[in-house]
């Protein structure tokens, strides 16, 4: 399963778009949340500083003696967190009277200061402060911003984690959905490939989820049922026609044989009779081939299959066909698999016919002195039977038509053959679920059938 096929799927692409939308949505929501929390924290801190400012102002209102004010503020400072809070009381000349600040800021109102000149153990910090002038005194109250900043930083990282987590989860869901969709589509492709090879009873699997692909599969199964019924009707019609024509043809053949015997007994010439008999033989063979192809295509299960040695079957077929090749001064040879015996499951009679037809095709269409070979090659769990010749080959645009019944090349329209030899080969290969291919060898043609090793 290629990863490119999965990430290019509609489910993953949709999830990718959704992830982008979610990421931007989470980013916008995070920004608004961050600003809201930052504002709330600042308002809460400002509220505390206002309360502390009012507390000091009340001390000033309740005490007329400066020493009492200083003592009261110093006592109040003890109750505040020394390392995070600022309190300072200064007279009009800027002299510190109480608190933990050496000098007051130059501004009045709200602001932020670094703790230069602030006695907090030497650690530099940033504080938010409120500076007010009250009854001739300068009052400074402030709080460390470290807590606010750490809280905002934690919030920011949390929001980032939520955004990335939501994006990754969306992509993961899309990836898993794309895998499920790809598997269903791949299964559909394999089933349709079986149908195209002649396995008309193959059907698409329909899941329990009743999703869009399941509904399409159910609809396609209905079309395949209709197609199978149409093909069955067509085959039955063709077989019936061939069968109905074969019977009178047989009677005509017998009558012609009797006429030939009568003419022979009277010493009359037999050439016209022999010519008619040859044409009838050809026509009879055509009908028999059509009927045989129909029987093979309509066969249910390979009940007649047995374990066969493909090396032995190929060798025996080549030995049978050598005399036909010698008539055209052609070289016919067999190249067996190097690892020796190769067992497959198949119908021995059909596979011998397959080999014979492939060899006959090369012998008939190759010129005098050509070389024809039958090769058996095993690779892992498959074995390939190939017939290779060094003839003229065929045009590239006709390779896919070689196995179509009654198809003949334009250059061979007037030849004796009827275009059924390779069609019978395809029917036998399909019956064995063996892929059949034809390629130009430059020079020559190679026809290969691939079987599973038993």
What DSSP string runs through 393-437? ---GGGGGGTTSTT---GGGTTSS--S-HHHHHHHHHHHTT--EE
State the average pLDDT over residues 40-56: 88
Higher pLDDT, 152 or 256: 152
At 164, the pLDDT band (50, 70, 90 cuts) reads: confident
d(CA 155, CA 135): 42
Higher pLDDT, 454 or 410: 454
State the average pLDDT over residues 7-23: 76
Take residue 136 and report the two structure tokens written for it. Answer: 């001739």
The per-residue pLDDT for 416 is 55
The per-residue pLDDT for 148 is 83
Please name the helix (run of DSSP H) or strand (run of DSSP E) that holds residue 64, with its range, or none.
none
Same fold, 12-149 and 212-298: no
Residue 86, SS3 per DSSP: strand
Which of 22-26, 337-341, 345-349 is the least confident region?
A: 337-341
d(CA 43, CA 306): 89
Mean pLDDT over each residue of the chain, to the nearest integer:
80
The per-residue pLDDT for 24 is 85
The per-residue pLDDT for 329 is 92
Cα 223 → chain centroid: 25
Count the neighbouring beta carbons within 10 Å of the beta carbon of residue 255. 10
- Say which CATH architecture domain 212-298 belongs to: Orthogonal Bundle (1.10)
Cα dihedral 209, 212, 218, 224 in deg (nearest 10): -150
Q: 331-335 and 371-379: which strand pairing?
A: parallel
This prediction has a pTM of 0.49
Higher pLDDT, 431 or 272: 431
Whether 125 contacts 142, CB under 8 Å: no
The yes-or-no verdict on residue 106 having pLDDT over 70 is yes
Q: State how far the alpha carbon of 63 is from the alpha carbons of 57, 70, 87, 103, 133, in Å.
A: 10, 10, 18, 23, 17
Percent of the chain with pLDDT over 70: 76
Q: At which residue do the structure tokens 């060798």 appear? A: 315
The per-residue pLDDT for 268 is 67
The per-residue pLDDT for 121 is 47
* Residue ranges covered by each domain of the chain: 12-149, 212-298, 306-452
Q: What is the pLDDT of residues 283-315, one digit of tens each?
A: 666 666 666 676 676 665 555 688 889 999 999
Residue 366's closest CA among 403, 328, 339? 328
Q: State how far the alpha carbon of 54 is from the alpha carbons of 45, 46, 58, 113, in Å.
A: 14, 12, 6, 21
The per-residue pLDDT for 120 is 47
CA distance from start to end of the chain: 26
State the average pLDDT over residues 32-42: 88
Q: 109-114 and 126-134: which strand pairing?
A: antiparallel
The yes-or-no verdict on residue 1 having pLDDT over 60 is no
Q: What is the pLDDT of residues 186-217, one digit of tens each?
A: 888 888 887 776 677 778 888 777 777 788 88
The yes-or-no verdict on residue 411 having pLDDT over 70 is no
d(CA 447, CA 360): 12
- Residues found in the chain: 454
State the average pLDDT over residues 434-444: 88
- Fold of the domain spanning 12-149: Beta-Lactamase (3.30.450)
The per-residue pLDDT for 358 is 92
The yes-or-no verdict on residue 446 having pLDDT over 90 is yes
Q: What is the pLDDT of residues 220-270, one digit of tens each?
A: 888 888 877 776 666 666 666 655 555 666 666 676 677 767 766 766 666
Class level of CATH domain 306-452 = alpha beta
State the average pLDDT over residues 147-166: 86
What is the per-residue burial (b if ≥16 Cβ within 10 Å, else e) of 278-315?
Answer: eebeebbebbebbbbbbebbeeeeeeebeebbbbebbb
Q: State how far the alpha carbon of 252 is from the alpha carbons of 241, 260, 279, 280, in Å.
A: 17, 12, 12, 9
Higher pLDDT, 126 or 66: 126
State the average pLDDT over residues 148-177: 85
């Amino acid at each position: 399963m290629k990863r490119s096929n999965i990430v290019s799927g509609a489910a993953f692409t949709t999830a990718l778009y959704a992830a982008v939308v979610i990421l931007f949505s989470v980013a916008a929501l995070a920004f608004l949340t961050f600003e809201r929390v930052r504002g709330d924290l600042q308002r809460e801190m400002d509220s505390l500083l206002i309360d502390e400012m009012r507390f000091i102002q009340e001390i000033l209102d309740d005490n007329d003696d400066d020493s009492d004010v200083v003592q009261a503020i110093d006592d109040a400072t003890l109750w505040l967190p020394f390392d995070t809070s600022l309190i300072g009381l200064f007279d009009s000349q800027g002299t510190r009277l109480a608190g933990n600040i050496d000098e007051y800021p130059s501004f009045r109102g709200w602001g932020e200061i670094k703790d230069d000149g602030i006695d907090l153990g030497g650690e530099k910090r940033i504080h938010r402060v409120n500076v007010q002038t009250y009854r001739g005194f300068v009052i400074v109250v402030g709080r460390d911003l470290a807590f606010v900043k750490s809280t905002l930083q934690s919030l920011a990282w949390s929001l980032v984690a939520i955004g990335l987590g939501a994006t990754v989860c969306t992509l993961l869901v899309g990836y898993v959905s794309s895998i499920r969709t790809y598997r269903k589509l791949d299964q559909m492709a394999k089933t349709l490939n079986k149908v195209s090879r002649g396995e008309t009873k193959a059907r698409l699997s329909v899941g329990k989820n009743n999703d869009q692909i399941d509904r399409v599969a159910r609809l396609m199964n209905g079309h395949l049922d209709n197609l199978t019924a149409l093909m069955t009707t067509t085959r039955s019609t063709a077989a019936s026609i061939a069968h109905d024509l074969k019977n009178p043809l047989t009677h005509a053949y017998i009558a012609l044989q009797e006429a030939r015997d009568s003419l022979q007994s009277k010493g009359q010439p037999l050439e016209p009779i022999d010519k008619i008999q040859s044409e009838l033989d050809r026509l009879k063979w055509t009908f028999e081939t059509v009927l045989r192809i129909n029987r093979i295509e309509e066969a249910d299960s390979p009940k007649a299959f047995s374990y066969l040695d493909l090396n032995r079957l190929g060798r025996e077929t080549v030995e049978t066909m050598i005399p036909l090749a010698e008539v055209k001064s052609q070289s016919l040879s067999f190249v067996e698999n190097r690892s020796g015996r190769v067992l497959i499951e198949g119908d021995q009679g059909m596979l011998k016919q397959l080999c014979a037809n492939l060899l006959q095709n090369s012998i008939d269409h190759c010129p005098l002195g050509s070389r024809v070979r039958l090769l058996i090659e095993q690779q892992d769990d498959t074995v390939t039977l190939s017939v290779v010749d060094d003839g003229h080959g065929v045009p590239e645009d006709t390779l896919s038509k070689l196995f179509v019944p009654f198809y003949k090349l334009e250059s061979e329209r007037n030849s004796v053959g009827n275009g059924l030899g390779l069609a019978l080969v395809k029917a036998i290969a399909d019956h064995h679920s063996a892929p059949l291919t034809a390629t130009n060898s430059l020079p020559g043609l190679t026809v290969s059938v691939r079987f599973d090793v038993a």
